[in-house]
Structure 1
């Protein structure tokens, strides 16, 4: 890990990538709180729930547990940790929660949910193509669709970043 890529809050993009790669299925609330507090930042379950209620973080997805009468567990995307750190950075810059709701994170969670959903769709289609031994035309179409999905996500992320940067610049001018 390159220390020069580490932010003053102790996080680097590599840290986020490692965490997200280690938990592709997501993390429970306690796992997210532990990941954030392991870097020395304070986060309680109550604060985490408040961020979710305010729409700053995505809602959990209920996932059943194996075994009789085991119930289900709420899992949040591992990218939620990245969002919490981003949220905290904005707050450290003096933005209020209301400003953040209005100017910054309004679609970030939706884009990440779209990315996860597209990955599930493409994985299912690719498995079906492989299982059925479909022809090269179908395989190429799936590859093209995956590339279009990646392009769509990149464009949406770019738009979201531009809007967020614009809000930061307007704040700096004031």
Structure 2
């Protein structure tokens, strides 16, 4: 999958994807993965855990939803395995921060959604106007933190790839 397709997928499925949707996406492209492989990647920390989301309607239960970014991560894993990297090398040297960064992004997003809701409810409160500026600043700081940590991960990943090539 190319960058444009991945970006479009992430924007159209912002609420996330179920495991069956993820498996179907890869199967459609002739790069099938199994449910067991998906679970193994989660257990190894290469992918974030799914979040349980309730279904509409009484007694419908819930389903696990993964962030759409897992499609990109699975693609990276598959590409690296095609380059003869082992799952252990990928876990140790390349994707060691990805799951945590995705979780941080989701946690910050949820936190700011809650703050936005509270701010909307207290629109007439003068203290809320002051807090709104703080929330706006915190949102920017959170975005910069995630961006900086992503850059660190990319640098370390690039360095590990270069060292792998040099030692081959």
Q: TM-score, normalised by structure 1?
A: 0.88
* SS in structure 2 at match of 1:167: helix
The answer as to 2:133 corresponding to 1:143 is no
- CA drift of 1:54 comes to 2.4
CA RMSD of aligned residues (A): 1.4
Aligned position for 2:117: 127
Residues in 1 aligned to 2:28 and 2:135: alpha-carbon distance in whole angstroms: 40
Aligned position for 1:3: none
Aligned position for 1:157: 150
Residues in 2 aligned to 1:30 and 1:110: alpha-carbon distance in whole angstroms: 23
Q: Quick one: which of 56, 60, 69 aligns to 1:79?
A: 69
Conserved 8 A contact 2:47-2:99: yes
Residues in 1 aligned to 2:141 and 2:90: alpha-carbon distance in whole angstroms: 30
Aligned position for 1:19: 9
Residues in 2 aligned to 1:54 and 1:139: alpha-carbon distance in whole angstroms: 39
Unaligned regions of 5+ residues in structure 2, if any? none
Number of residues of Structure 1 aligned to a counterpart in Structure 2: 164
Aligned position for 1:6: none
Aligned position for 1:5: none
* SS in structure 1 at match of 2:8: helix
- CA drift of 1:130 comes to 2.3
The answer as to 2:52 corresponding to 1:62 is yes
Residues in 1 aligned to 2:142 and 2:32: alpha-carbon distance in whole angstroms: 36
- CA drift of 1:137 comes to 2.5
Aligned position for 2:97: 107
Q: Quick one: which of 44, 53, 75 aligns to 2:34?
A: 44
